[in-house]
Structures are given as C-alpha cells and as structure tokens.
Structure 1
Amino acid sequence: MARLSNMIAVVTGGGRGIGREIALQQAREGAKVAALARTATEIEETVSLIEEAGGEAIAVSTDLIDLAAVESAFARVASELGPIDILINNHGSFQGFGPIWDCDPLVWWRDVEINLRGTFNTCRTAAPMMLAQGSGRIVNLVGGGTGNSFPHGSGYASSKAAIMRFTECLNDTTIGNNVRAFAVDPGLVRTAMTELQLSSEAGKTYLPGIQKLFEDGVNIEPSRAALLIADIAAGRFDTLAGRLLRGVDDRDALAEEMDAIVAADGRALRFSSVEQAKL
C-alpha cells in the first residue's frame, strides 16, 4: 500500500511549478489531492495529470487572501474528498523588487499579503479540522530572506521570515494534539516567479544575483522539495516539527541528524546563544 493512501492533501499554488510537482508527488504516494489556486485552468491541468496517472484529485479555484473563500474551499474539499490530513502552503508572490522607496507600496504589501495572510487563512481554517480529528501535518514553504537579509526583496523576505516564526508558533500550539507544522525551503527553482526576476527591468536592476546563480548552475529540481514534503506527510520527519527543512537536504542524512538538530535547537529562528544568554 502506498504510504499516503487514504490521506487527503491540500496543495495551494498547485497549478504550476513547485506546487504542481508537489501535488503530483502526493498523488503518486497515494493521497487524494485538492489543488488550489486562483487560475482555474492551471489547477485543472494538474488534476488531469493526476487522473491520467490513476490518482484522484479536484481543482478548487479560490483567492487565499479572502478568508470566507478559503473556508468555503476547504469545506468543499472535506465534502468531496474527506477530512484533510495534509496542508501544503506553496502559494507565493514576489513582485516588489528594489529599495523600499523605489517599490510600489501596493505591490510590496501585496507580496506580504498573499504570502503571509494567505498562509494564515489556510492554517486558521485547516488546523481546527485537524485538531478535531486528532492528527494532521501542515507544511509552509519559505524561501530567500527567511534567515538572512534580502535588501532588494524586503517584502518577500519579511513575509517568509514571518511565515517561519508563524510555523513555529503554530506547531507549539497544536503539537500536543498531534497536529504538526513544518517549514520547507525548496531552494532556488526556475519558476514563473524567478522568470519575472530575470526578465523584468526591476529584476535585472535589483536582483542580478539571481541570474548569476542560474548561470553558475544553481537550479534545484522541484522534485527535491516534492519528495521531501512527501516524507514529511508520511511522518518521517515528525521529530523536526516546527523547524526548517530544505529541498537541498540529503533526506537520509537529515533523518540521522534529527535528534542532534533538536538538541542544538537548530533549524529555527533564534537569537545567537550569546544573545540568548543576556535575556
């Protein structure tokens, strides 16, 4: 039996790129999948690919920053597929490039709103369902700027750092009732988001390092994150709940290092040990 058989997985941003690969991998592992995004045609294509391979999936078009729409979408998933076991927040926006005085403030805030508020809305809706059934796993995707400065991508970075802390808080709130939250950094993947960074004048001006990384051969396959998240969904990395896992990680090595990571309080947003000692 496939290790995710009889599980229901919700994948946001499931219509293309990393999200599509995550949805396909969840289905390969036996899960029934709900692909969520605003663009119906893209998630319908993801569903068609899953069904062609013998899996079961539905496409649910929704605006993640509209809480009522998210609640309606999750109610539909529960009604058509069953209780939600896995939530994977893959959606993301990064269109505000440059120093803050050059960024359109509405674009900057839109990045933050989609990334952070969208994740809040889905978690706020799914977590009570999971708590009621006594189990569940939530995976929130983070990225560049989560643990380091990103001067010309401050909106994206601020939202992703906030999602990391939010994941820690959520996990500490729910883990006692067998609901776990994880953060995953997929690494630098060539997607529609990075193509905008490469092709737009603002991206060329303020984010030339992205082009350099691709030229140097840094291009993580989306399957790396998808396989890691399938492992998380199956419970392999429960010890690391509330912490950061990365698409570039060697999953076997990571499994062996879990206890040491927890003992060192690693893979988390923390003050340095020196600063912590002063508090």
Structure 2
Amino acid sequence: MPEVLTAPLVVEFPFTRSLGPVQSAFLTGLRERVVLGVRTTDGRTLVPPVEYDPDTADELHELFEVAPTGTVTTWAWNPAPRPGQPLTTPFAWALVRLDGADTALLHALDAPGPDAVRTGLRVRVRWAAERTGAITDIACFEPYDGPPAQPTGHTGEFTDPVTGIVAPARLDYVHSPGRAQSAHLAALTEHRVVGERCPTCHKVYVPPRGACPTCGVATREQVEVGPRGTVTTFCVVNIAAKNLDIEVPYVYAHIALDGADLALHGRIGGIPYDQVRMGLRVEPVWHEGSRFPDHYRPCGEPDAEYETYKELL
C-alpha cells in the first residue's frame, strides 16, 4: 500500500475593510492611547464597541472612555505562539474587563508562565511603540498591582481618523490527500499520471478522489492515463500572476487526458495565446525536479473532433 502523504499548507490573504463611525473612533483612539467603549440605552459600556446593541438592535453612537487597567475574567495558556500572533514567547489569551467597561476584550497577556495567570488578575495595557490605528496598537496586557488608572476624559473626537484597515487572515494546517491522491502524487514524481476507475460506471477520474463522484462507490483500480490530452475549454488570463514569472496574456485550459473521464486544468504554452482552441491536442512539459507539469504544449497531432470530448466540457 502506498504511503499516505502529508504536507503543511498555509492559506493567507489580506482583508481590506472600511470602518463605520464607532469602529473608526475606537481604532483611532488606540492610536492615541485612548480606549473607547460605546454606551447602550440601558447604561452598559461595551468594549470593544459595536454599532448596534446586541440585545435591542438599537443603533449606538455614544462613545465613552474606559481605563487602560482591568481584570482578567477568563484565560487560556498558549505554549506555542504561531506566526502573526501578538507575542513570540508563550503567553495567555485573556478576556479582560477594563475598568469602566461591562464587557471583556480579548487580547494577549504577557506572563512568565501559566502559574502566574488567574481569573481576577489585575492587568494593564502595554502600548505598542508605534501605533497606526489597529488592535495591535495594544501590544498586549501585563500584570499590574497598582491602583485603577483614570480615563483622560476624551470624548472620541479625533483629527485624521482611521477610516479603513487591512486585516491579514492566515490559516496554517497539515493536509493529508488520502490514499487515492497520495498514489496519484507519487506517480507524478515519475512523470506518470494515474487515476482510478469506478467499478460501477467504469469512468476514470484524474485526479482520483477515492470514490466515484457520480455513483458514490469506492474506487480502487488504478489506471494510467495520458500523457497527451485535448483542450476542452480555456480562458485567456490578462492579469499577471503573483510570484509566477509568466508573461501575460497567457492561457489556462481544461485538458482531458487520453483515457480520463474528467478534465484537469493546466497552463498552455509553446503557442501564441490567440491560437489556443478547443480540440487542440497537447502534451505535458516537465521541469527537472518538478512534481507537476509546468505547462502543456501542442504535440503536433490533428485537432480532436468535437464529438470525442463534448461530454467532458
């Protein structure tokens, strides 16, 4: 039985969003070392502030400054910080109810170890040295044994307010492609393309999924397909690919490999983009050490008849 592969994967992208008046004031306040909450119609102060009352859905706009000191209401120890987290050394994630607030703010708490953290611990804000109007302007919280800090009395009116933020989103995980796709990937290292045949409908799927997507039954029989195939559909790309040295415009196509009943996609090269067409017969081009074909190029065979690939569009 082939080895089941695993690989670390990262999904990361910047998320750009505009801010309403409440969030704008909150983040602008952090830039100025001021923590603002918003007051509800029943007199509670919510930190971080929201634009609508979570109980009544009333619109909220009355900003109220709270102190940069507070109390831990609950916490969890993080022994192995990940990239992009507030601290690079082990720390606690803590919910902190700032003095003057009725709700708790989630942030990092810098402590020497889990034994130094407890519910009820008094803490204060440690401000970042450089502040831009983001939640990271609070570098973290730190234990504090002094008296409650006093608010400055700020009203929430600022010059040059923050109107938008870019929030990076990142997901680190370990992916296992499973038995069928592990065998497929292992074959690609030998420049072979292997799919699996459904025992019921007898269709060959590449890449294999371990089960027939039509019949829902498990697949086991391995079938080598290609390496040549037929362009079924394609698109012309006019936007430069980030981190890829490909001149635009270029073409990505669905390619039905000989012997397969499911088209896969790949880049078409070795031909001007405006000469790529449905039915074009192509072959893979491998780079040394590459697991996947770099691109597909015309193989010199006559174009395939439409009837031979119409079911794979």
Is the pair's TM-score, using the shorter chain for normalization, greater than 0.5?
no
TM-score normalised over the length of structure 1:
0.21
The structure richer in strand per residue is 2
TM-score normalised over the length of structure 2:
0.20
The structure richer in helix per residue is 1
Q: Which has the larger radius of gyration?
A: 2
